Amino acid sequence: MPPPDHEIIKTVLAAVLSDQKHPDGRTDTERLDPRPGTITAAPPVNCSTADTAWAEFCQLDGPGWLQNAHTQAILHGDDLTRQLADCKGPHWPVAGERVSANGRASVHLRRTSAGWEVTKLEESDDPTGLLLTHRLLSTDLKKYLVYHVAYRPEPVGNHQELRPFASRFVGFEKVEGAAKPSAGPLAEEGTPLEPVTASTR
């Protein structure tokens, strides 16, 4: 199958999405930012202790978020390293995502029945793949969690379709204005902040 024509993809998205500009001056299609690329996940690291899971999670030093079993709070932001230092010891991580300083790699942590699973994800150029940018509203309603989602051609019956297969957390975006987004978890209203991290299926 020939690689996807990304210009055609942009044209199709522009035809079906609103051309109204958001506060950051971009349209829906521009904010999805269709482009060639892929996401590769390393084999998950299975950790039997919280200390091991912490060590794996802290290999990347960029911003991110973390849910902690002890405080039942979700830590997030650029000062995550300081917050993590306060949470070590008896505190158990439940889930978290973090990005590298250069924004090209992410780490995804989750609690499992056997301990913890930590997966590193990296983004790279690939003319046969497609990357789109999606946003999820944070629990504090002040920012979006930004994800890059990777699509690849997959056989469906007698034809091929571009289907999502991996995602990674890549940053936060501030929610502009006092009005809350009304379009659900993928509501689009924001201005880019620092880069961050993410996950795969």
- CB contact at 8 A, 135 and 33: no
- Alpha carbons 104 and 142: distance in angstroms, whole number: 25
DSSP-assigned letters across all residues of 133-160: EEEEE-TTSSEEEEEEEEEEEEEETTEE
- Alpha carbons 125 and 64: distance in angstroms, whole number: 23
- Give pLDDT tens digits for 52-102: 998 898 888 888 888 877 765 666 666 666 666 665 555 678 899 999 988
Extract the tokens encoding 75: 């830590």
- Give the least confident one: 13-17, 88-92, 109-113: 88-92
Residue whose pair of structure tokens reads 């829906």 in the numeric block: 28
Q: What angle do CA 198, 40, 138 make, to 5 degrees?
A: 15
Side chain identity, residue 12: V
- Return the SS3 of 28: helix
Q: Give 110's strand partners.
A: 95, 117
- CB contact at 8 A, 97 and 197: yes
- Give pLDDT tens digits for 130-189: 999 999 988 778 888 999 999 988 888 888 888 899 999 998 888 875 344 333 333 333
pTM passes above 0.85: no
Single out the residue of 166, 174, 196, 186 nearest to residue 32, CA to CA: 186
Residue 39 pLDDT greater than 90, yes or no: yes
Extract the tokens encoding 179: 């009005």
- Return the SS3 of 103: coil
